[in-house]
Amino acid sequence: MTSQMVREKKITEPKGLIETLTTEQFLTFSLSADQQALLPTSQLLEIVKVNLSQITPIAGIAPYVMGVYNWRGEVIWVIDLASMLGYIPLHAQEQSRFQDKCHVIFLRIQDTVMGLAVSQVGQMIKCDIAKIQTTGLAFTNPVMQEACRGYWLSGSSDTFLVLDGKAIAQSAQT
């Protein structure tokens, strides 16, 4: 190996390491017609488009709990994420966005698997975590206060709420 190759290697490896430490991959999805959100892909297991008839409602529980769903032989609670965070519940959103199907984002936090129902799922994006803004966040919904890490502005000036799946799971269990 020549000394030039060694110098090039020393220069390129730390840059890749720095990029890994400063960026995180997220899934984009809709909470409402005018609010997009992000969840870290490291917390996600799978995304499934589900017919509402496959979610079994359970009486006497929190209004944001849609019911249970059989996911790979396990009975999993499905949460209407928009409703839980203080937005319009999925069933009350525009019919063109939510008909008889929704997307369920399955996440595992420690030993718990839960499903988060959302109207639309977008794409995977990488964000510079240093650009997630946390100042000025004041939510009246206590779950949103706990679940929101901040907000991120995309290159096209779209605002995304950056959510924490662990905080959402903890709020759903209380």
Domain ranges of the chain: 24-173
CATH top-level class of 24-173: mainly beta
> What per-residue confidence (pLDDT) applies to 17?
45
Tell how many helices (H) and how many strands (E) occur in the chain. 4, 10
H or E segment to which residue 151 belongs: strand 148-153
CA–CA distance, 163 with 148 (Å, rounded to integer):
5
Cβ atoms 78, 55 nearer than 8 A: yes
**Per residue in 90-145, pLDDT tens?**
888 775 455 688 999 999 988 889 999 999 999 999 999 888 888 666 776 778 88
CA distances from 8 to 4, 19, 21 (A): 6, 17, 21
| Tokens 């400063």 belong to residue | 22
Assess whether pLDDT exceeds 70 at residue 12.
Answer: no
Assess whether pLDDT exceeds 80 at residue 44.
Answer: yes
* Averaged pLDDT for residues 10-31: 69
CA–CA distance, 134 with 141 (Å, rounded to integer):
16
- What pTM was computed for the model? 0.81
> What per-residue confidence (pLDDT) applies to 158?
86
**Per residue in 54-67, pLDDT tens?**
999 999 999 999 99
Between residues 19 and 114, the one the model is more confident about: 114
Rg (CA), the chain: 19
